[in-house]
Amino acid sequence: MKYFLYQLKKNPLAIVGIAIIVFWLFAAFIGPSMMSFTHTQIDADHQMARPGTNGHLLGTDSLGRDILSRIVYGSRSILTVALLTSIFSTIIGILLGFSAGYFGQKIDALFLRTMDILMAIPPLVLSMVVLGILGDSSILSLTIIVSIAFVPATARVSRGVLLTEKSQEYVMAARIRGESHLYIMFIEILPNTTGPIIVEATARFAYSIMMVASLGFLGVGLQPPTPDWGMMVIENKPIIDQAPWTVLFPALAIASLVIAISIFSDFVSKVLVHER
């Protein structure tokens, strides 16, 4: 931790990244209660109001809804889904990848074939088709489907990490002591692999934000009236030449969040790789 802070001091970019993430976390937790308009409130007198006019800091959309409060409210859903997705896909990835790598042979072969099948279709296409057919996406269905789409990637990383540890002497020692497979996998090996797994999980968080935003943009994400950043972009695209702010601000919100998380995950991987 001390080392982490020391590295942070030398890396101003990472500080900016973390500051932006903290800003969005605040926005998600307490932001909605600070807004003077709710995310569905229609200001009928001021449709497509310019930013900064009539008390709408970021303007309004074609219905007269406040862009700022929709963005702030929308940060909740995207952060929730992305966080859950990266946690779930990492955990499932560890469970599958570890079992495959640990037991090897037939289980490993079965695992590799299954992953080959899942990987032959781009993750965005997979989740978009399934969510589109299921319809009425909720936080739960989004999380489950996107996690499944991500599992091939996370499981392969976990499997690779386990394979490098498997031949270590402490694993052999535990085996000779007669420890159970589960004990060896999760009490002996797992703590030694936290570095690469944390790196993978933070990178996965950035991917999840991209994915959730893209799914919302394609109209298969969370359904109205829940404001969704991606959805705000596509629903206001037809008026981009009259009211560019309706599209630009949600897009910039996505941009700031993903770039901040990428900078952060880049930093984490540098620190953890250096430590090893």
Partner 1 sequence: MNRSAQMMLRRLGSLIATLVVMSFIIFLLVEIMPGDVAQMILGQSATEEAVAALRQARGLDDPLLQRYGRWVKGVLVGDLGESVYMQGVAINSILWRRVGHSLVLAFTAFIMFVPLSIFLGVLAGVKEKKPADSVISFFGLATMALPEFVSGVILITIFAVQLNWFPIVSVIPIGQTLFQNLDILVLPALSITFVMFGYVSRMQRSSMIGVMNSDYIRSAILKGMPRKYVIFRHALKNALLPTITIIGMNMGWLFGGLIVVETLFGFPGMGSLLMTAIKTRDVPLIEACVLLITIIYSLSTMITDILYSYLNPRIRFQGGQR
CB atoms within 10 A of CB 235: 20
Instruction: Tell me if 247 contacts partner 1 by CB under 8 A.
Output: yes
Instruction: Tell me if 10 contacts partner 1 by CB under 8 A.
Output: no
Nearest CB to partner 1, comparing residues 68 and 243: 243
Residue from 61, 200, 228, 266 that binds partner 1 (CB under 8 A)?
A: 266
Nearest CB to partner 1, comparing residues 171 and 232: 232
Nearest CB to partner 1, comparing residues 110 and 187: 110
Question: What does the angle CA 107 – CA 108 – CA 113 come to, to the nearest 5 degrees?
Answer: 100
Instruction: Tell me if 134 contacts partner 1 by CB under 8 A.
Output: yes
Instruction: Tell me if 273 contacts partner 1 by CB under 8 A.
Output: no
Interface segment toward partner 1; rule CB under 8 A; list 29-37, 64-72, 111-119, 184-192: 111-119
Instruction: Tell me if 133 contacts partner 1 by CB under 8 A.
Output: yes
Instruction: Tell me if 163 contacts partner 1 by CB under 8 A.
Output: no
Nearest CB to partner 1, comparing residues 185 and 233: 233
Instruction: Tell me if 111 contacts partner 1 by CB under 8 A.
Output: no
Instruction: Tell me if 259 contacts partner 1 by CB under 8 A.
Output: yes
Interface pattern 169-208 for partner 1 (x via CB under 8 A) = -------------------------------------x--
Nearest CB to partner 1, comparing residues 32 and 160: 160
| DSSP letter string, the chain | -HHHHHHHHT-HHHHHHHHHHHHHHHHHHHHHHH-SS-SS-B-TT-TTPPTTBTTBTT-B-TT-BBHHHHHHHHHHHHHHHHHHHHHHHHHHHHHHHHHHHHH-HHHHHHHHHHHHHHHTS-HHHHHHHHHHHH-SB-HHHHHHHHHHHHHHHHHHHHHHHHHHHHTSHHHHHHHHHT--HHHIIIIIIGGGGHHHHHHHHHHHHHHHHHHHHHHHHTT-SBPTTS--HHHHHHHHGGGTTT-THHHHHHHHHHHHHHHHHHHHHHHHHHHHHHH-
Instruction: Tell me if 57 contacts partner 1 by CB under 8 A.
Output: no
Instruction: Tell me if 210 contacts partner 1 by CB under 8 A.
Output: yes
- Give the nearest distance from C-beta 228 to partner 1 in angstroms: 13
Specify burial of residue 190 (Cβ count, 10 A radius: 0-12, 13-18, 19+). Answer: middle
Binding footprint of partner 1 on the chain (CB under 8 A): 13, 113, 116-118, 120-125, 128-130, 132-135, 206, 210, 213-214, 217-220, 230, 233-234, 237, 240-241, 244, 247-248, 251-252, 254-255, 258-259, 261-263, 266
